[in-house]
Amino acid sequence: MERSQIVKLLQQHDITPTRQRIEIAGYLFQRPQHLSAENILEGVNAEGNRVSRATVYNTMGLFTDRGLVREVLIDRERVFYDTNRSNHYHVYDVDSGELHDVLHSEIQIASVPELPEGARIVDTNVILRVSSKA
């Protein structure tokens, strides 16, 4: 993705395109992927840029709040940022630590509990945790 496209994408989500935000978004949107904040920090800095850990965490919080990425919470210590903003689910391999997308059509939810009056479902987050170990 070219710099001008990144700037436009950030502006479309009401995000001021600072140098660090452009660098982080440029790294994130190279391809659809799931990255932790540490992966992002290492990757952005490996490309010759200089961003701090705090900047990455703050930026990812902003990107999540503005709908630019989806936050996938595996547990208290594992959070991935997903560049695929379409509706989908995930499979998390506990052995490898990898996260993979699963299309909505591949999982069927038979029923949901009765919701409070006036409430509606706005999102569903399904994470299937798998392991090859017994």
List the CATH number of the domain containing 37.
Answer: 1.10.10.10
Residue with tokens 């479902």: 121
Given a cut of 90, is residue 21 above it in pLDDT?
yes
Question: Which structural domain, as residue segments, surrounds residue 122?
Answer: 88-130
Residues 78 and 97 in one domain: no
What average pLDDT does range 92-106 have in this prediction?
93
What does pTM read for this prediction?
0.88
Q: Do 77 and 92 sit in the same domain of this protein? A: no
Residues 6 or more apart whose Cβ sits within 8 Å of residue 84: 32, 70, 101
125 band by pLDDT with thresholds 50, 70 and 90 = confident
How many domains is the chain partitioned into structurally?
2
Inter-residue contact 81 to 27 (CB < 8 Å)? no
Q: Residue 52 pLDDT more than 90?
A: yes
76 and 25 assigned to the same domain:
yes
On whether both 54 and 96 belong to a single domain, the answer is no
Mean pLDDT to the nearest integer, 105-124: 90
Shared domain check, 77 and 14: yes
Query: Is the domain of 76 the same as that of 109?
Result: no
| pLDDT for position 88 | 92
Joined together, the tokens standing for residue 94 give 């506990």
Q: How many CB atoms lie within 10 A of CB 116?
A: 5
